[in-house]
Chains A and B, each alone.
Chain A
Amino acid sequence: MLGEFEYLLVTAAATLGDQAYGAAIREEIEATAGRKCSVGALYTTIDRLESKGLVKTWMGEATAERGGRAKRMVRVTAKGVVEAKAFYEAVMRVSRGASWSTGRAGSAS
């Protein structure tokens, strides 16, 4: 099962498609999840996901706006899609009875 941050990263990479690379994924996570994403967390998580076979990475082209430096491109593998779907479905199942899921008022206590 994926971890929460792993799920965010895989989802961001899948959303970005062919444009998924370090900086773009980071911006996507920060914009959609509303949380800070450090360079360290991003790249160590990408490595972990790659070692699990959930994403594939390669060095892309260099651009002028990056000071002539190459991008590390990321693509979600078929196994990554399966794992992300399993995580999503688990979250949906476990949330089914929760007040924030059904829209009815409730408290944690």
Chain B
Amino acid sequence: MSSASWSLVEFASQLLARDEREAVLGDLAEVGESAWQGLLGVLGLVVRRQVLGWRSWRPWLAGFVVAMPSSYLLVAISGSVSATFQRLVLHKTVPWAPTGHEGFLLLLCHVFLLIAWSWTVGFVIGSLSRGTVWISIAICTGMISYCAHHLVAGVLSKVFLTLFFVPAIWGLWQGVRISKITLRAAVSLGMTITGVMIAAWSSAALWAPNWFLVLPVWYLVAMTWRQTAGNSAASCSPTQREI
């Protein structure tokens, strides 16, 4: 194969998991297939992987039940935190206070919740839909674009709507790579998030729809509990590590 053809095959193979990519490209090199045959082989495997992936309920749950509504809520919360920060710290007039919360303590609560929710949503999406994670990302991107144009257009800079990006991408990356956390970490995260949400709710500083964001973390707890209870023996693949 020429180096240009190889590059094309290697580019297509980026859609495969790391170990599988290694094995497939090695096989192609060893057998000495033409670039065209190699490309068809890799693309065929990618298509089969995607088709098999969508036969499970997991990518549907990740994409349409978790990613879509969560990205809408996280955009709104990013905007809310930004607006509050600008009012309290920068003393700017921002005519947008969807949760009606004020005060540094409540702002800190919301910053914490924003980070924790975002990480959890990212982690759950990543662990649920490793092979089809790009579809979940596309759904999130579509929802974020929609919100940026319709939710707070003209009130806040669009950059402020993406405060959740870093923790969400961090969680997503860990979800894809690690796929599970310890039961103790999951329960601690679930209880902390729920506790802070109750505190914010009791101060009338939480939207009712935000309670939806408690579901991914308790799903994570249930999933971890199930793995821990049923597990020990077989279920862990050698590539999975705990954090």
Interface string of A16-56 (1 = CB under 8 A from B): 00000111001100000000001111011000000000000
Q: Are A72 and B19 also in contact (CB < 8 A) when A66-B26, A67-B26 are?
A: yes
Contact of B49 among A27, A41, A44, A59 (CB under 8 A): A44
Q: How many A residues face the partner with a CB closer than 8 A?
A: 22
When the two chains form the complex, which single residue of B26, B28, B45, B47 contacts A62, counting CB atoms closer than 8 Å? B26
Contacts of A4 in B (CB 8 A): none
Check if B4 is an interface residue, CB within 8 A of chain A. Answer: no
Partner of A66, one of B19, B29, B47: B29
Shortest C-beta distance, B227 to chain A (Å), equals 16
Q: Known contacts A43-B20, A59-B19, A72-B19: does B27 contact A23 (CB below 8 Å)?
A: yes
Contact B23 A69 (CB under 8 A): yes
Give complex CA distance A42, B138 in Å. 30
Q: How far is the CA of A70 from the CA of B19 in the complex (A)?
A: 8
Are B23's CB and A22's CB within 8 A?
A: yes
Residue numbers in B under 8 Å from A58 (CB-CB): 238
Q: Inside 8 A of B20's CB, which chain A residues have their CB? A: 43, 72
CB contact under 8 A between A22 and B24, given known A27-B31, A44-B49, A59-B19: yes
Question: Judging by beta carbons under 8 Å apart, are B31 and A71 in contact?
Answer: no
Of A23, A39, A72, which one neighbours B30 at CB under 8 angstroms? A23
* Interfacial chain A residues near B42, Cβ < 8 Å: 39
Q: Which A residues are CB-close (under 8 A) to B22?
A: 59, 69-70, 72
| Residue of A whose beta carbon sits closest to that of B234 | A53
Q: Which of A40, A59, A65, A69 contacts B25 (CB 8 A)?
A: A69
B41 at the interface (CB under 8 A from A): yes
- What residue in chain B is nearest A53 (Cβ atoms)? B234
Q: Bound complex: CA of A40 vs CA of B42, how far in Å?
A: 7
**What separation, in Å, do the CA atoms of A20 and B64 have in the docked complex?**
41
The prevalent SS among residues of B at the interface is helix
Query: How many residues of B sit at the interface, in one of the four size bands?
Result: 20 to 34
Q: Which of B29, B44, B48 contacts A65 (CB 8 A)?
A: B29
Task: Determine whether B97 belongs to the interface, using a CB cutoff of 8 Å to chain A.
Answer: no
Closest beta carbon of chain A to B45's beta carbon, Å: 4
Of A22, A40, A67, chain B has the most CB atoms within 10 Å of the CB of: A40
Contacts of B28 in A (CB 8 A): 39
What are 27 A-B residue pairs whose CB atoms fall within 8 Å in the complex?
A21-B23, A22-B26, A38-B45, A39-B27, A39-B28, A39-B44, A40-B41, A40-B48, A43-B23, A43-B24, A44-B45, A44-B48, A44-B49, A59-B19, A59-B23, A62-B26, A63-B26, A63-B30, A65-B29, A65-B30, A66-B26, A67-B26, A69-B25, A69-B29, A71-B27, A72-B22, A72-B23
